[in-house]
Amino acid sequence: MLVLAGVTAMAMASCGGGGGGGTAAGDDKITMGFSQVGAESGWRTANTKSVQESAKAAGIELKFSDAQQKQENQIKAIRSFIQQRVDVIAFSPVVESGWDTVLKEAKNAKIPVILTDRAVDSPDTSLYKTFLGSDFVEEGRKAGKWLVEEFKDATGTVNIVELQGTTGSAPANDRKAGFAEVIQADPKFKVIASQTGDFTRAKGKEVMEAFLKAHPDIDVLYAHNDDMALGAIEAIEGAGKTPGKDIKIVSVDAVKDGMQALADGKINFIVECSPLLGPQLMDLAKKVVKGEQVPARVVTEETTFTQEQAKQALPSRQY
Ligand code: GYE
């Protein structure tokens, strides 16, 4: 996951225009193959829109492929982009592991790869040019810091349940780790149950229902995204409890529906994760195709929202 600046810059010097996907001699229109994770959440929908609109605005021809949250589909899509000799491949890896073979194939074909949104865990950083996306560990820490502050006067145990994102994905691994790092400072914080809800509303609801049955004494829900929190809210209300009061909720993303629930008092705090990566992705793609130097890591800037801040931000929220 850690990428040292400068390493890829050296490797880049030998890699020029990629596969030459232009349609005619002298046509320098860039063709990008983009393999998206799926359509699992409000975040993802906003991200897809951002990528598609930005490609259009940048004059980049986009070959878009939806992997329906399956790694095998992403690998197939990348192989097909290599065959079509696109100029640049961008993708958001559904899980962190298992990419080396296909990324080596792209490298051998001299087609540069950009990671967007999620990282891979390969130690060979020459397999991609740059990684554009959020710092998920920091997001987890922000959620943990809010919790520590919110419960600073609590004397007894604080029982936490956690809805994890897709198993093996960078945001699930990192949001869990960042949160755990912060709350472990005080033994009164106990994660009594932690399971994947696959970043979807339906799974968030289903798993929360099971949590509520098994644990009558839940104080806090930490959801790795808003959609799972929204599903869980239905489960909590279904169990006759009040979300935001009986059970405090902290989640990540700050998509519109999440922000609305925050403003309505059903969620207590949201850590922002911006899906609007399209414009930066297109800039990076143009540079990479020209063989220009790009930073090995581009981190998205983000904030956090309280209920009051959500009320103010909602009218102008883009996603
Ligand atoms: O938080 C979640 C989505 O990878 C940052 O994926 C993204 C995550 C986002 O399904 O809602």
Q: Is the pLDDT of residue 19 over 50?
A: no
Give the distance (Å) from ligand 1 centre to CA of residue 224: 8
Q: How do beta strands 269-272 and 304-305 pair? A: antiparallel
Identify the pLDDT of residue 278. Answer: 98
Identify the pLDDT of residue 27. Answer: 63
CA distances from 306 to 8, 138, 255, 268 (A): 39, 17, 14, 7
Which domains are delineated in the chain?
2-134+275-302 (3.40.50.2300), 136-272 (3.40.50.2300)
Mutate to test the pocket of ligand 1, among 1, 35, 44, 175 (most ligand atoms within 8 A of CB): 44
Mutate to test the pocket of ligand 1, among 43, 51, 120 (most ligand atoms within 8 A of CB): 43
3-state secondary structure 185-212: CCCCEEEEEEEECCCCHHHHHHHHHHHH
Q: Is the pLDDT of residue 128 over 90?
A: yes
Strand intervals (E) in the chain: 31-36, 61-66, 88-91, 113-116, 130-133, 158-164, 189-196, 220-223, 248-253, 269-272, 297-299, 304-305
For 180-232, write each residue's pLDDT tens digit. Answer: 999 999 999 999 999 999 999 999 999 999 999 999 999 999 999 999 999 99
Structure letter (DSSP) for residue 268: -
Give the distance (Å) from ligand 1 centre to CA of residue 39: 10
Identify the pLDDT of residue 49. Answer: 98
